[in-house]
């Protein structure tokens, strides 16, 4: 059974501002954020949560948010919706409720579980919540409390948690009814990031706030904007204020803290209109509720500065987290690449192949592989120009092409011509590869093609020959032509393929390892380890600047 989330493919978010659903299926867990209402569940592919099991109906259930409370309602499903084992038509949801859709023995969903990992901010928040703010608490005390919150929260790394806490703390300080935190997206538009009411409930709908005031605050140069509708005569265009009976709206633009600018020009206020806006804090209360227009300006100024600092820090932490995740992705790609490049050398009675590879970066551009067909045995060594991910991508593609063409027993010159055509047609910029393919038959007849590669070493009875026949690298020039060559091998003859990382390995003096040293050691030893240790001795402590690969093909005869 496949489980997918149509609204959030592949993306997992921590929940803090919005409740989440955790899907549990066997050992697998997946978290989906309930960031809109209604949230649909069913087998149909356009559902917010898709559960592809025949026992789940196409339109199975909806989760809706009604004034901060969440309800699940069955949409006439065939096999029913269950909350904590009870079949329900419509049911109010509480944290940790277990939801099942048609399937009683398969996947289930936990509504907004209380997790151990996201509690730091919450715990701290509950401490603050425990403090009753009496009416005679001075502004200074409130300010201290906020600063304290700011300092403590800087140590937590979860952006959503911080935003919720900013909203809650602002509600505490202003004693407003609702608080929303907006963050500016990459496209410059504001996106609701957290919403809370004074009862501590989650608000995910921002249609009932005054967007005109929000806009006005963002375009004004002031630190905050307090709108008391009972004092304001001009309500034209303020639809929300009229429609939702809003009395006081406070809007605080969150401006990127600018330490550098302030230092360069001490006269300029750090919260001037020129500074970049990263978001906004919006609080309001209705006529029916208390008047919040008398909130001290000091408090609002403190919130403006501290909240911006908090959000900015949280964003930095999140960026770090994203880059860490990106690093993980790269590590996965690297291990996949290693898996693809892992060589399984087939055994044939008349030849033997061994290879060694020293990588100087996590993902390298050198690779080799061997293919056996009915009465031929082929080995190829490729060096893709450049390093890192782009080289690895090209390497994987090349490997697949060469491998499959060899299996199809195509002539070597045609294989490299096809690869060259493919890469030059795809316009990969200045990416290309050098390679050698050698294919021997049972009787020792060897065909090889060298495309811009270091000439191979043919070792016959301790004599080293360097066949110089060669062609252009593949991927550089569309009109390149390729020719292969033939050599008759005797039993015991060895063909040694190396990448230029070997011949161009440097020692501390800046000398290259060179062909002479390579040929000398190849002549006297048939062990690849001897070549590598000769290389290591030469380089001393100087790190390799390019991948080094050595592959040996020995014709053992029949």
Partner 1 sequence: MPLKMESKTVGGVTVVRCIGRIIFGDEAVALRSTLKNILATNKKILLDLSEVSYIDSGGLGTLVGVYSSARSAGAEIKLTGLGQRVRDVLQITKLVTVFEVYDSEPKALAAFH
Q: In angstroms, what is the minimal distance from the CB of 321 to partner 1? A: 29
* Residue of 167, 166, 205 whose CA lies nearest to 35: 205
| 169/175 Cα distance (integer angstroms) | 9
Out of 161, 168, 366, 546, which residue is the one contacting partner 1 (CB under 8 A)? 546
Q: Which residues pair with 551 in a beta bridge?
A: 355, 497
Out of 477, 511, 524, 529, which residue is the one contacting partner 1 (CB under 8 A)? 477
Out of 40, 285, 420, 434, which residue is the one contacting partner 1 (CB under 8 A)? 434
Q: In angstroms, what is the minimal distance from the CB of 455 to partner 1? A: 7
Is residue 10 a contact point for partner 1 (CB under 8 A)? no
* Maximum Cα interatomic distance, the chain, rounded to a whole number of Å: 103
**433: burial class by Cβ within 10 Å (0-12, 13-18, 19+)?**
buried
Is residue 140 a contact point for partner 1 (CB under 8 A)? no
Tokens 């649909």 — which residue?
40
Neighbouring residues of 509: CB distance < 8 A, sequence distance ≥ 6:
none
Q: Which is nearer to partner 1, 238 or 431 (CB)?
A: 431
Q: Which is nearer to partner 1, 186 or 479 (CB)?
A: 479
Q: Which is nearer to partner 1, 448 or 555 (CB)?
A: 448
The contacts found for 514-519 with CB under 8 angstroms, 24 or more apart, are 515/454, 515/466, 518/457, 519/457, 519/464, 519/466
Is residue 476 a contact point for partner 1 (CB under 8 A)? yes
Out of 452, 487, 517, 534, which residue is the one contacting partner 1 (CB under 8 A)? 452
Element (H, E) at 14: none
Q: Which residues pair with 548 in a beta bridge?
A: 358
* Residue of 380, 373, 382 whose CA lies nearest to 350: 373
Q: Which residues of 246-275 are buried (b: 16+ CB within 10 A; e: fewer)?
A: bbbbbbbbbbbbbeeebeeeeeeebbeeeb
Q: Which is nearer to partner 1, 204 or 433 (CB)?
A: 433
Query: What distance lies between CA 457 and its chain's CA centroid?
Result: 44
Q: In angstroms, what is the minimal distance from the CB of 482 to partner 1? A: 10
| 34/15 Cα distance (integer angstroms) | 9
Q: In angstroms, what is the minimal distance from the CB of 411 to partner 1? A: 19
Q: Which is nearer to partner 1, 472 or 536 (CB)?
A: 472
* Binders in 489-508 for partner 1, by CB under 8 A: 500, 504
Is residue 481 a contact point for partner 1 (CB under 8 A)? no
* Binders in 343-402 for partner 1, by CB under 8 A: 383, 385-387
Part of the chain binding partner 1 (CB under 8 A), chosen from 29-37, 151-159, 180-188, 449-457? 449-457
Q: In angstroms, what is the minimal distance from the CB of 470 to partner 1? A: 5
Part of the chain binding partner 1 (CB under 8 A), chosen from 148-156, 317-325, 451-459, 489-497? 451-459
Is residue 470 a contact point for partner 1 (CB under 8 A)? yes
Please tell me the count of residues contacting partner 1 according to CB under 8 A: 22
Is residue 431 a contact point for partner 1 (CB under 8 A)? yes
Residue 96 Ramachandran class (φ > 0 left, ψ -120 to 50 alpha, else beta): left
| 241/245 Cα distance (integer angstroms) | 5
Q: Which is nearer to partner 1, 434 or 549 (CB)?
A: 434
Out of 112, 255, 453, 517, which residue is the one contacting partner 1 (CB under 8 A)? 453
Is residue 550 a contact point for partner 1 (CB under 8 A)? no
Q: In angstroms, what is the minimal distance from the CB of 383 to partner 1? A: 7
Q: Which is nearer to partner 1, 345 or 465 (CB)?
A: 465
Q: In angstroms, what is the minimal distance from the CB of 481 to partner 1? A: 11
Is residue 547 a contact point for partner 1 (CB under 8 A)? no
Is residue 432 a contact point for partner 1 (CB under 8 A)? yes
Is residue 455 a contact point for partner 1 (CB under 8 A)? yes
Q: In angstroms, what is the minimal distance from the CB of 384 to partner 1? A: 9
Encoded tokens for 168:
């809650």
The contacts found for 522-530 with CB under 8 angstroms, 24 or more apart, are 522/457, 522/459, 522/464, 522/494, 522/496, 523/459, 523/462, 523/463, 523/464, 524/462, 526/459, 526/494, 526/552, 526/554, 528/354, 528/355, 528/356, 528/552, 529/356
Interface ranges with partner 1 (CB under 8 A): 383, 385-387, 429-432, 434, 452-455, 470-473, 476-477, 500, 504, 546
């Amino acid at each position: 059974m496949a489980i997918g989330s149509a609204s959030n493919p592949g993306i997992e978010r921590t929940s803090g501002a919005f409740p989440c659903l955790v899907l549990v299926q066997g050992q697998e867990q997946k978290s989906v954020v309930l960031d809109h209402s209604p949230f649909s569940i069913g087998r149909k592919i356009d559902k917010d949560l898709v559960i592809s099991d025949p026992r789940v109906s196409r339109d199975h259930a909806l989760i809706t948010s009604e004034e901060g409370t969440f309800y699940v309602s069955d949409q006439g499903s065939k096999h029913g919706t269950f909350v904590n084992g009870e079949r329900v038509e419509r049911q109010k949801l509480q944290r940790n409720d277990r939801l099942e859709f048609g399937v009683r023995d398969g996947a289930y969903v936990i509504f907004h579980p209380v997790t151990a990992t996201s509690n730091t901010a919450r715990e701290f928040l509950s401490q603050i919540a425990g403090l009753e703010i009496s009416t005679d608490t001075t502004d200074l005390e409130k300010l201290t409390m906020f600063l304290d919150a700011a300092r403590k929260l800087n140590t937590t790394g979860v952006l959503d948690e911080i935003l919720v806490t900013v909203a809650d703390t602002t509600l505490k300080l202003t004693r407003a009814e609702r608080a929303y935190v907006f963050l500016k997206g990459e496209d410059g538009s504001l996106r609701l990031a957290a919403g809370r009411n004074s009862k501590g409930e989650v608000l995910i709908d921002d249609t009932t706030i005054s967007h005109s005031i929000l806009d006005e605050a963002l375009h004004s140069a002031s630190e905050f904007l307090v709108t008391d509708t009972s004092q304001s005569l001009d309500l034209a265009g303020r639809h929300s204020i009229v429609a939702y009976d809003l009395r006081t709206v406070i809007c605080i633009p969150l401006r990127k803290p600018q330490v550098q600018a302030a230092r360069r020009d001490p006269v300029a206020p750090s919260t001037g209109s020129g500074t970049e806006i990263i978001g906004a804090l919006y609080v309001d209360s209705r006529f029916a509720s208390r008047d919040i227009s008398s909130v001290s300006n000091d408090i609002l100024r403190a919130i403006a500065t501290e909240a911006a600092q908090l959000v900015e820090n949280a964003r930095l932490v999140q960026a770090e987290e994203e880059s860490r995740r990106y690093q993980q992705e790269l590590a996965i790609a690297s291990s996949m690449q290693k898996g693809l490049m892992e060589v399984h050398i087939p055994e044939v009675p008349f030849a033997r192949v061994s290879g060694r590879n020293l990588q100087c970066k996590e993902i390298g551009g050198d690779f080799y592989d061997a293919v056996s067909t009915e009465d031929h045995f082929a080995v190829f060594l490729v060096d893709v120009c450049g390093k890192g991910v782009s080289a690895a991508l090209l390497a994987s593609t090349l490997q697949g092409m060469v491998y499959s063409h060899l299996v199809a027993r195509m002539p070597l010159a045609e294989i490299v011509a096809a690869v060259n055509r493919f890469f030059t047609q795809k316009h990969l910029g200045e990416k290309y590869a050098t390679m050698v393919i050698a294919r021997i038959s049972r009787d020792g007849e060897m065909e090889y093609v060298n495309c811009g590669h270091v000439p191979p070493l043919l070792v016959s009875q301790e004599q080293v020959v360097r066949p110089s026949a060669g062609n252009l690298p593949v991927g550089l020039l569309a009109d390149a032509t390729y020719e292969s060559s033939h050599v008759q091998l005797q039993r015991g003859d060895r063909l040694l393929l190396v990448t230029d990382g070997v011949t161009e390995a440097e020692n501390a003096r800046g000398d290259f390892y060179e062909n002479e040293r390579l040929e000398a050691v190849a002549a006297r030893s048939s062990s690849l380890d001897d070549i590598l240790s000769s290389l290591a001795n030469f380089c001393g402590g100087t790190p390799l600047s390019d991948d080094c690969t050595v592959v040996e093909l020995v014709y053992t005869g029949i």
